[in-house]
């Protein structure tokens, strides 16, 4: 893949120490990129370092901390691909009228975090660089108790389209996962697999996705230089179910 090869490209993944972000880091490094990942959880940082085994760099940074973000960007220098996969906010999963205003607002910390990553990282992007943001299928597939996920996801997707227009020729895209088997569901304990099966029973592909499958979508928008301002769904057909 000559013109779209990642060999030697510098990739920074904020929220890259666990789950989808970590899988994207591993895939990008395997494709020849120089990769830096950042996260805020020390447990995730330690695990990512062990898995990296020198294949990529692991740093500590909170998506809301401009100084921590800038320290990484300065270390990297010119960034070819900037990915933001950090959750960045607390989500209260219950019907809108049962939430407080503060609980609903807290979900939008994800949007503000993504905005900070873009604002801080923009001066370091290569002239032909790209930004990839991770959203989620609730942005366009509404379910009871998921209004914060849906509203912030829709805002993230629309922001990416605005950025694609304003920042061209830098490319800006969204990758939108469906139900994915990550540590986010570990709180379910022994019921995790059964619950994931129930959650995806009506999907066109009747199982939860994997972080690696979503990471493949991230690498697609990174490598394909004719894609910008779009959302790539990696959701097992959830939007159509």
Instruction: Report how far residue 27's alpha carbon sits from residue 22's, in angstroms, rounded to the nearest whole number.
Output: 9
Q: What is the pLDDT of residue 233?
A: 98
Q: DSSP class of residue 27? A: H
Is 150 within the bounds of a domain? yes
Is 120 within the bounds of a domain? yes
Instruction: Report how far residue 30's alpha carbon sits from residue 159's, in angstroms, rounded to the nearest whole number.
Output: 30
For 14-42, how does the pLDDT look when each residue is reduced to its tens digit (9 = 90+)? 999 999 999 999 999 999 999 999 999 99
**What sign results for the dihedral spanned by CA atoms 31, 21, 86, 132?**
positive
For 105-151, how does the pLDDT look when each residue is reduced to its tens digit (9 = 90+)? 999 999 999 999 999 999 999 999 999 999 999 999 999 999 999 99
Is 104 within the bounds of a domain? yes
pTM of the model: 0.94
Is 138 within the bounds of a domain? yes
Find the CATH number of the domain harbouring 162. 3.40.50.720
Domain count, the chain: 1
For 3-18, how does the pLDDT look when each residue is reduced to its tens digit (9 = 90+)? 468 999 999 999 999 9
- Domain span including residue 215: 10-235
């Amino acid at each position: 893949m000559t013109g779209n090869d990642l060999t030697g490209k510098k990739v920074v993944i904020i929220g890259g120490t666990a789950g989808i972000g970590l899988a994207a880091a591993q895939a990008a490094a395997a494709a020849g990129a120089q990769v830096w990942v950042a996260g805020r959880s020390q447990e995730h940082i330690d695990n990512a370092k062990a898995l990296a085994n020198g294949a990529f760099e692991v740093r500590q940074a909170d998506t809301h901390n401009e100084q921590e973000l800038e320290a990484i960007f300065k270390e990297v220098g010119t960034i070819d691909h900037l990915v933001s996969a950090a959750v960045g906010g607390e989500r209260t999963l219950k019907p809108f009228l049962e939430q407080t205003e503060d609980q609903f607002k807290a979900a939008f910390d994800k949007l503000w975090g993504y905005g900070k990553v873009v604002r801080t990282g923009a001066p370091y992007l290569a002239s032909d660089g790209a930004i990839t943001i991770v959203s989620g299928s609730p942005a366009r597939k509404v379910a009871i108790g998921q209004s914060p996920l849906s509203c912030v996801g829709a805002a993230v997707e629309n922001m990416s389209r605005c950025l694609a227009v304003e920042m061209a020729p830098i490319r800006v895209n969204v990758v939108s996962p469906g139900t994915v088997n990550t540590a986010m569901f570990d709180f379910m304990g022994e019921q995790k697999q059964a619950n994931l099966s129930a959650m995806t029973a009506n999907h066109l592909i009747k199982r939860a996705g994997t972080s690696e499958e979503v990471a493949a979508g991230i690498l697609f928008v990174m490598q394909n230089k004719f894609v910008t301002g779009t959302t790539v769904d990696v959701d097992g057909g959830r939007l159509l179910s």
